[in-house]
Amino acid sequence: MNFDNLFYQSPQPMLIFDIDTLQILEVNTAAILHYGYSRQEFLSLSTRDLRVSEERGSFDKLKGLFKGSENVFAEGQHLLRSGSVINVQIVSYIVEYKQKKCRLAHINDVTSVVRQARNFEILVSIGQSISQELELQSIIQKVTDASLQLSGADFGILFYYPAQSPSQVEFTFALSTISIDVQRQLGDIKQFQSLITNEVVRVASASELEIGSLKLSERVGIRKEENPWTFQSFMSVPITSKSGETIGSLMLGHRHKNVFTEEAEKMVLGVVSQATVALDNAMLFQKLVSANDEKERLLEKATEQNFKKDEFLSVASHELKTPVTSMKGYLQILEKQLAKEGNQLYLDLLQKANKQVNKIIHLVGDLLNLSKLEAGRLEYNFSNFKISEVLADCITNIKNAERKHNIRVFGDQSSVICADRNRIEQVIINLIDNAIKYSPEATEVLIGLSEERGYFKLEVRDFGPGIPEEKLRLIFERYYRGEENSYKTSGLGLGLYISNEIIKRHQGRMGVESEQGKGSTFSFIIPTEQDLEGSPK
């Protein structure tokens, strides 16, 4: 068996080198073909010279191993005669060559494996980075950069037409080039728009390319005589929306022929399909952001309008208060005079007028309170007082207004509380007033007083029609009025809202229980002891 043939005719590059000097002593044909050096040139080189310059230092460390008898496995980068770099895996073992101990090296070119692994890494990392990205420009730039890297192109241009834009006039684009020079030579980016295709196009040499009836160079507007720089390799990949329409295009080019391989095309397609999802998300996000902006604008407008309305109510109630109060004064004088004269007919009429004026005073009072409350101008003066005294005042007030209801008080009348006396009186009057107003068929209102664990509680119970359960949670809201009452009774739907705010300011709580057909019980609790600023002790 002739072992020489195994060496010289093997399709795998092999060489024999001196273990002391590293000088190359013999090469096979496969090595000559693969590296581009002639046999003569090889024999003037050492295995160290084959390495790229930055690896030569570390290569010297292998020298000791080469002198041993073990097989040596090494990895690195070799330079070809053309200046290209290849990735190699080398295994070498001791042989005797021309009566001397040498090493025979088997060289494995793993460039394409390494490139594939690197490309795969790029593909995975671009997928991760764009899936977290919501900014459109940043996504298309990343996609263009990654495609340039994966395909080995000189330049890449990505045009993106958002789905809602009806024409291709408005677009976003990203450009990626290997150098400023290439960028300069590309000229106006817009001219590439005419190269957008609906299907993948990959050409090895620009002269071969026809899109429609036009040659690529004509479509791009680069004529050789005007611009000596042109590209030969070209690839165009459409970007398609979920619904199947072309919403953009990625174009890649290179000055040389035959640059884009099928593998590069697959890689670029991989990036583009990931980009489609990310772009869809970015568009959705943009829509969401603009919808939110619109919502905020409307909210601002509504707040402004609300402010104007509050301002109007505040001015109107102020303006109404003085004339209505003096009107009431004149009516009282007139009432006394008519009583003296014994004119019963006019007296009756006057009392009716008085009732109406009282209603107006009540409504204006509610409005004034509301505007003060909203502006944070409702003042509180805390003091200690006996609650039964305040309650008695309230009942007298209400009785004077000629109510037919009998108001009965139960429970512990000894409680002393620290609160704003006028405001608490206002709350109690509101509750008793409502109990009477909303139980016109009944004749009784019960008031319960109690004290438990530092809290004072007041309950007002009526025997009216009650409140439907679904309405109970609305009852303390501003302007809420039960529709069944709104046409029968006067009111603005503010009394309970204001009362609730007052009780909250006293660190307390209001409550309501109601059974339809049987009546309602409104209550409030407040701490009995507070400091004079209204904070619980």
Give the nearest distance from C-beta 425 to ligand ADP in angstroms: 15
Q: Whose Cβ is closer to ligand ADP: residue 248's or residue 491's?
A: 491
Q: Whose Cβ is closer to ligand ADP: residue 17's or residue 438's?
A: 438
Give the nearest distance from C-beta 363 to ligand ADP in angstroms: 8
Q: Whose Cβ is closer to ligand ADP: residue 416's or residue 492's?
A: 492
Q: Whose Cβ is closer to ligand ADP: residue 481's or residue 509's?
A: 481
Q: Is residue 361 at the binding interface for ligand ADP, with CB under 6 A as the rule?
A: no
Q: Whose Cβ is closer to ligand ADP: residue 494's or residue 525's?
A: 494
Window 168 to 227, contacts with ligand ADP (CB under 6 A)? none
DSSP-derived 3-state class of residue 268: helix
Site size with ligand ADP, rule: CB under 6 A: 20
Give the nearest distance from C-beta 491 to ligand ADP in angstroms: 2
- Give residue for tokens 């709350």: 427
Q: Is residue 248 at the binding interface for ligand ADP, with CB under 6 A as the rule?
A: no
Q: Is residue 275 at the binding interface for ligand ADP, with CB under 6 A as the rule?
A: no
Q: Whose Cβ is closer to ligand ADP: residue 200's or residue 373's?
A: 373
Give the nearest distance from C-beta 326 to ligand ADP in angstroms: 24
Candidates 448, 482, 511, 536; binder of ligand ADP (CB under 6 A) is 482
Q: Whose Cβ is closer to ligand ADP: residue 80's or residue 409's?
A: 409
DSSP-derived 3-state class of residue 517: coil
Give the nearest distance from C-beta 449 to ligand ADP in angstroms: 18
Candidates 462, 503, 506, 527; binder of ligand ADP (CB under 6 A) is 462
Q: Is residue 475 at the binding interface for ligand ADP, with CB under 6 A as the rule?
A: yes
Q: By the 8 A CB rule, do 432 and 390 touch?
A: no
Give the nearest distance from C-beta 315 to ligand ADP in angstroms: 21
Beta strands 444-452 and 406-411: pairing type?
Answer: parallel
State the Cα–Cα distance between residues 297 and 236, nearest whole angstrom: 43
State the Cα–Cα distance between residues 508 and 373, nearest whole angstrom: 17
What are the CB-based long-range contacts (under 8 Å, 24+) for 201-204?
Answer: 201/234, 201/235, 201/236, 202/234, 202/235, 202/236, 202/260, 202/262, 202/265, 203/233, 203/234, 203/235, 204/232, 204/233, 204/257, 204/258, 204/260
Give me the 288-317 binding string for ligand ADP, x by CB under 6 A, dash otherwise: ------------------------------
Q: Is residue 520 at the binding interface for ligand ADP, with CB under 6 A as the rule?
A: yes
Q: Which residue is nearest to ligand ADP (CB)?
A: 491
Window 402 to 461, contacts with ligand ADP (CB under 6 A)? 430, 434-435, 438
Q: By the 8 A CB rule, do 260 and 204 touch?
A: yes
Give the nearest distance from C-beta 483 to ligand ADP in angstroms: 8
DSSP-derived 3-state class of residue 461: strand
Instruction: Locate all alpha helices (DSSP H) within 187-261, ordered by sequence.
Output: 216-220
Give me the 484-513 binding string for ligand ADP, x by CB under 6 A, dash otherwise: -x-----xxxxxxx----------------
Q: Whose Cβ is closer to ligand ADP: residue 7's or residue 438's?
A: 438
| E strands, 366-493, in order | 382-386, 406-411, 416-420, 444-452, 455-462
Give the nearest distance from C-beta 356 to ligand ADP in angstroms: 16
For 424, how many CA atoms within 13 A lie in the half-sphere containing its CB? 32
Give every CB contact of residue 116 below 8 A, 6+ residues apart in sequence.
263
3-state SS string for 103-148? EEEEEEECHHHHHHHHHHHHHHHHHHHHHCCCCHHHHHHHHHHHHH
State the Cα–Cα distance between residues 183 and 189, nearest whole angstrom: 9
Candidates 248, 464, 508, 527; binder of ligand ADP (CB under 6 A) is 464
DSSP-derived 3-state class of residue 192: helix
Give the nearest distance from C-beta 499 to ligand ADP in angstroms: 7
Among 104-112, 393-401, 416-424, 479-487, which window interacts with ligand ADP (CB under 6 A)?
A: 479-487
State the Cα–Cα distance between residues 435 and 464, nearest whole angstrom: 8
Give the nearest distance from C-beta 434 to ligand ADP in angstroms: 3
Give the nearest distance from C-beta 472 to ligand ADP in angstroms: 10
Q: Whose Cβ is closer to ligand ADP: residue 106's or residue 478's?
A: 478
**480: which DSSP letter?**
-
Q: Whose Cβ is closer to ligand ADP: residue 252's or residue 494's?
A: 494
**300: which DSSP letter?**
H
Q: By the 8 A CB rule, do 387 and 449 touch?
A: yes
Query: DSSP characters for 402-433?
Result: ---PEEEEEE----EEEEEHHHHHHHHHHHHH
The residue type of 220 is V
Give every CB contact of residue 450 below 8 A, 6+ residues apart in sequence.
411, 412, 456, 457
Give the nearest distance from C-beta 142 to ligand ADP in angstroms: 59
Give the nearest distance from C-beta 464 to ligand ADP in angstroms: 5
Q: Name the residues that contact ligand ADP, by CB under 6 A.
A: 430, 434-435, 438, 462, 464, 467, 475, 480-482, 485, 491-497, 520
